[in-house]
């Protein structure tokens, strides 16, 4: 399996897991911080959506990721992003809907990326070692980042008394029952 296909397989898994980990979480639960200084489920979900912008750049797609001012981190954002007006705070459902609306275009851009483009060196040093300064290195880091935060939401959903996150996609029959 090529490097690109391995990275795409991880992207596809995160797409399923993102939806599964916030399944059956209402906005009140999503907003609740169970203990300081932990982030809420909503902040983590919004931050995952915000991080998708790096994959938008890698794949060269034209996808708008809203609410960045609410969910960015200083070390991972640009000065321009930090100065943007925040606007209205989204609901967990709006975050999920935007994720699902943009994930197809993001994946298409990534799938169309030539394999040799993965070895292209990016400007600036990657802030985390052992990731290198290649496009593949950044993509691998974003995949790891997504996995880390999906895991955090999984722990928080259990703290809210919810069932564990499922690793499989729901079938059409299961969705009809829900």
What is the reported pTM?
0.86
Q: Show pLDDT as tens, one digit a residue, over the chain (178 residues).
A: 799 999 999 999 999 999 999 999 999 999 998 888 888 999 899 999 988 888 998 999 988 877 766 665 556 556 766 566 666 779 999 999 999 999 999 999 999 999 999 999 887 666 666 678 899 998 999 999 999 999 999 999 999 999 999 887 765 445 556 5
Integer-rounded Cα radius of gyration of the chain: 17
Helical residues (DSSP H) of 22-134, grouped into ranges: 27-31, 41-59, 68-71, 79-83, 92-111
- At residue 172, the pLDDT reads 43
Topology given in CATH for the domain delimited by 3-167: 1.20.120
H helix intervals, 73-171: 79-83, 92-111, 135-159
How many CA atoms within 13 Å lie on the side-chain side of 1?
Answer: 8
Domain boundaries, the chain: 3-167
């Amino acid at each position: 399996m090529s490097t690109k296909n391995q990275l795409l397989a991880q992207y596809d898994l995160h797409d399923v897991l993102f939806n599964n980990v916030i399944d059956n979480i209402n906005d009140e639960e999503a907003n609740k911080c169970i203990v300081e200084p932990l982030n809420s489920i909503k902040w983590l979900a919004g931050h995952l959506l915000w991080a998708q912008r790096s994959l938008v750049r890698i794949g060269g797609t034209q996808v708008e990721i809203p609410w960045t001012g609410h969910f960015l981190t200083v070390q991972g954002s640009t000065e321009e992003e930090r100065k943007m007006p925040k606007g209205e705070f989204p609901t967990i459902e709006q975050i999920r809907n935007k994720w699902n609306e943009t994930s197809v275009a993001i994946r298409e851009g990534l799938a169309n990326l030539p394999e040799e483009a993965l070895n292209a060196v990016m400007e600036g040093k990657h802030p985390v070692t052992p990731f290198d300064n290649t496009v593949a290195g950044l993509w691998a880091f974003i995949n790891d980042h997504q996995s880390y935060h999906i895991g955090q939401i999984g722990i928080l959903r259990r703290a809210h008394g919810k069932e564990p996150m499922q690793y499989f996609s729901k079938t059409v029959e299961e969705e009809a029952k829900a």
